[in-house]
Structure 1
Amino acid sequence: MLSHTRPARIVISLVFALASLQSCLTHAASVVTGTPRGFAFGTTGGGNAAPVYPTSIRDLKTFLSDEQPRVIVLKQAFNFVKTEGSTTEEGCRPMHNLNCIAKKSGFRGQDAIQPSFSKCDGSKVSVTYDNAANTPLLVGSNKTLVGDGMKGVLNGKGLIISGSNVIVQNIHITNLNPHVIWGGDAITIRGASTDVVPKGIWLDHIKVSNIGRQMIVINFSGATGVTISNSDFDGRTKYSTSCDGRHYWGFLFLGKHTEMSLLGNYLHQISGRSPKVGGSETDAVFLHAANNYFEDNSDHAFDTTTGAIVLAEGNYFDSVKTPIAHSTKGSFLAPNAGVDCKAKLGRSCVPNVLTKSGTLSSISGDAVETKISNLKVHLRAIKVRTAAKLAVASGNFGVGAFDNDSSDQTSPIQESVETGPIQESVEMSPIQESVETSPIEKSVEMSPIQESVETSPIQESVETSPIEESVAL
């Protein structure tokens, strides 16, 4: 009897083992939805590594920064507020905030942390800020960070991506000292040094809200193979540098060599830098912006300066005062007709649509045509649709619900997303909030304020906005 049952048991064991292995592989492969379009095409992140599920801040830090390929799934929110203490020091009340207070309009401005490299054009005041927001989580190479449903929230701390081959999908970064300039950037892409250029980064279906400074910044090192897609950049805030309930510090794309795509995103209630591209004689930043939806932006959207080369097609501007800031520097092509770039690109470009908005004109468009001719094989592969309004999802973060292909979520809707009064995702200011997590050791990746710049911020851009001039950034 034993001689007959043993082979059967072995076969049954093998069947269960193979089924278990197939389940694990399927689970690992299905964590990320879709594949990246644009310049991030081919990015795999942690690949088929077995998913890990951090339950503590310590685990999350380790998984993101170690040298192992990782697929990290967030099945809970992480609250960093007060975990690293707070700082009270002399800061600045810039002139734009003094003017905001004098208006008595009901809106609040932003005070500023006062780094040594900046000047205060207003009055010195005491500022208090949460330390965690200025020590972002370090993300190494070959990492996938994905939120489960609406659970993947980073409250009070952002990310700094220093590695290559990174995917961040379906997370919400919020509440980074929104009351002060230099309070914290949501996502920084920066090599370990100015000579190290991160490659292959896909940011998809993310949401950013209530921050002190930039939503996304690519630093002086630059980055290649970057795609930001299907994401919700929510500028509604109580603390507005532009004194109108809209966040000014949107995006800053720099670098000696940067190539990136901005595809199918919803940028709303922002008053500037959405995005700002280039800024120094050494910058060479190419941005392809397509099928994005800009809504209710009270000042400028695009801001192209020295070193910028931008192709903007198929974007929808709804109630945007200034779709592009006036500048004689940088290069910007906004095709008025499909044939405008067909000769150079090998396909027709898609015109932008503007309603209740200012004008969108090209700047040194010939330079853009020359650049896209060199990149035509890559750009022809990107499907650009007719400009349309977009809708945020209800079961996940960002634009559009997940389906079989997260890379193409920018399905149009007929009506604008309903926008009510200015609100905050987190009602309390970060210093007022309480948390139940235990204090942890302060991150050592970088000191406060240094997260978004490596040298004096004066080098970051040609100053074109009175807001920027007033805080000497």
Structure 2
Amino acid sequence: MRFEIIALLAAAATSSAQSVVGTAYGYGAGATGGGKAAAVTPTSNEELEKYLSDDTERVILLTQQFDFTGKTTSGPGCDKTTCSAKSGGGQYYLGDLSCGGSDMTPVSSITYDAGAETALKVGSNKSILGVGGKGVIKGRGLSIAKDASNVIIQGVEFTTINPGVVWGGDALDMQGGNTKIWVDHCKFSLVGRMFVVSHYDGSEATLSNNEFDGVTTTSATCNDNHYWTMMMIGKTEKFTLDKNYFHDVSGRAPKLGQDGVNSYFHAVNNYFENMKGHAFDAYDGVSALVEGNAFVAVDQPNTEHAAGVTTFVSKGGDACSSVFGRACLENSVDSSSGELSPGSSSGFIAKLGKIDVPEPMEASKVAAYVKANAGPANLGASSSSAPAAEKVVDADAPAKVTEPTVPTSSATKPKPAATTTAAAAPAPAAPTGSGSSAGAAGAAKLYAQCGGQGFTGPTECEAPATCVKSNDWYSQCINSSSKFRRALGRYF
């Protein structure tokens, strides 16, 4: 009983101390999200929707699964003859947007989850943070409102959004004109249409350390690989894709631009694995630097259309030196994959300015590193999302705690430790002075960590706090005069 109560209190304190891990970079640089706003922890679908929708600065902690599935509806659509949902393995197409052509057969009634029809609106100035791998949004996606800016989504899992129905909902969409957007350490799986999509007015964002899991039994390509992975086709799109894990997807991974529309992309250190289709698709007007990525068992690292775009550049060399102060990184393509086209016109790289990523690595290290660090379960496992000196956004916030992860389902099991990894960045120096977790006499401040496996900081707490053990991994300074302690005094 005593341990259970201590664990509950420690979990509550951990939630209150949760903050953004790392600092936004690339085309999402400058995002601070909710900043120093007091954290809120929604406990119902209605609360979550309310907290997300306005432009008020908020730090929104997701400590549970928010399930929007269960209420079904139906509507007309169509089915493919050559890859049929009715026969098993394919997807239905809701409405009439995809129903032209001789390969499509009308379907009078398609049953699907109604919750995904309208995504959850996200306004400006939000930090949406999954806590301990437990923040899951099931059955409904997020939509960043038109012209909304300064949004951080970190450590959140998106899943089960009408996976058998195209046009049944996207996991994350940007309505256009969105700037300072950072999506980090999230996971996307079992979605009927796009994992991530930006619309026609274009946005500026960084997608980093995310897992795009395409394993499905309802595939538009009838090969157990999700097809509708990612699409950025708006005017003046600017996206950084860094250290993401794409696997078991068969197309649009990602789709970059459309003919005649100018856009810029920097894709570095991403890992592509087991893809029965294509990774990059690119169109005239796109300026894309693709470097330091690894491809293993990928049928087509890029489409034939992308191969004809001269500014789809994937070759190493000196073209990056004057911009980034380093050479462009070579990509790695294994013998079971197709060819990655090199491109020929690299002059656009100068227009990227100093929009680089922290700690770029050679492609030979990418597979092990990304598999060990991508996704919500691995948030805080490395310094992959920011240089060591920039690991904490809010220096005045209590120290962030990384708890041992409890997966919410078989789809969120932590990855096994990699056998080889990139060299780790040096650990940040222990903070000192005002706002740090250590007091003037070397004691830890209220709510700071004071013990646990591998912890090397102070183990004493500033009065009146006491160091309370939650488990073998974590102990925290709890106020000895707090209402929690008074109410439960006999257990301490």
Residue in 2 that maps onto 1:376: 353
1:438-457 residue CA offsets vs partner (Å, 9 max, x unmatched): xxxxxxxxxxxxxxxxxxxx
Q: 1:273 offset after TM fit, Å?
A: 0.5
Compared with structure 1, are the counterparts of its residues 287 and 245 closer, same or farther at alpha carbon in structure 2 (3 Å cutoff)?
same
Find out whether 1:146 has 2:166 as its counterpart.
no
1:204-246 residue CA offsets vs partner (Å, 9 max, x unmatched): 000000000011001101012x100001100000101111100
Q: Which runs of 5+ in 2 are unaligned?
A: 1-11, 388-408, 413-492
Structure with greater contact order relative to length (CA < 8 Å, sep ≥ 6): 1
Q: 1:98 offset after TM fit, Å?
A: 3.8
What SS does the aligned partner of 1:59 have?
helix
Distance 1:189 1:201 in 2: 9
Q: Which runs of 5+ in 1 are unaligned?
A: 1-23, 102-106, 192-196, 410-422, 427-473
What SS does the aligned partner of 2:50 have?
helix
Q: Would you say how many aligned residue pairs link Structure 1 and Structure 2? A: 372
Residue in 2 that maps onto 1:160: 143
Compared with structure 1, are the counterparts of its residues 109 and 27 closer, same or farther at alpha carbon in structure 2 (3 Å cutoff)?
closer
Find out whether 1:49 has 2:37 as its counterpart.
yes
Q: 1:400 offset after TM fit, Å?
A: 4.0
Residue in 2 that maps onto 1:250: 229
Distance 1:55 1:221 in 2: 34
Q: 1:155 offset after TM fit, Å?
A: 0.7
1:382-429 residue CA offsets vs partner (Å, 9 max, x unmatched): 4321112046779993484415746149xxxxxxxxxxxxx9849xxx
Residue in 1 that maps onto 2:21: 33
Q: 1:57 offset after TM fit, Å?
A: 1.1
Q: 1:307 offset after TM fit, Å?
A: 2.6
Distance 2:157 2:188 in 1: 6
Distance 2:182 2:171 in 1: 15
What SS does the aligned partner of 2:348 have?
helix
Find out whether 1:79 has 2:61 as its counterpart.
no
What SS does the aligned partner of 1:165 have?
strand
Find out whether 1:216 has 2:201 as its counterpart.
no
Identity rate, percent: 38
Residue in 1 that maps onto 2:52: 64
| 1:212 partner amino acid | G
Distance 1:129 1:424 in 2: 23
Find out whether 1:119 has 2:95 as its counterpart.
no
| 1:96 partner amino acid | T
Equivalent residue runs for 1:58-457 within 5 Å: 58-82=46-70, 85-98=71-84, 101=87, 108-115=89-96, 118-119=99-100, 121-125=103-107, 126-162=109-145, 163-191=148-176, 197-224=177-204, 226-281=205-260, 283-327=261-305, 328-329=308-309, 331-335=311-315, 337-342=316-321, 346-355=325-334, 356-363=336-343, 365-366=344-345, 369-379=346-356, 382-387=358-363, 388-390=366-368, 397-398=375-376, 400-403=378-381, 405=383, 407-408=385-386, 425=411
Q: 1:157 offset after TM fit, Å?
A: 0.4
Aligned-CA RMSD value = 2.9
Q: TM-score, normalised by structure 2?
A: 0.70
Q: 1:96 offset after TM fit, Å?
A: 3.3
Distance 1:305 1:276 in 2: 9
Query: Post-superposition, which runs of at least 4 consecutive aligned residues in structure 1 deviate over 6 A?
Result: 24-29, 392-396
| 2:129 partner amino acid | V
Distance 2:230 2:134 in 1: 25
Q: Is contact 2:186–2:211 with CA below 8 Å preserved after alignment? A: yes
Compared with structure 1, are the counterparts of its residues 393 and 154 closer, same or farther at alpha carbon in structure 2 (3 Å cutoff)?
farther
Distance 2:303 2:86 in 1: 22
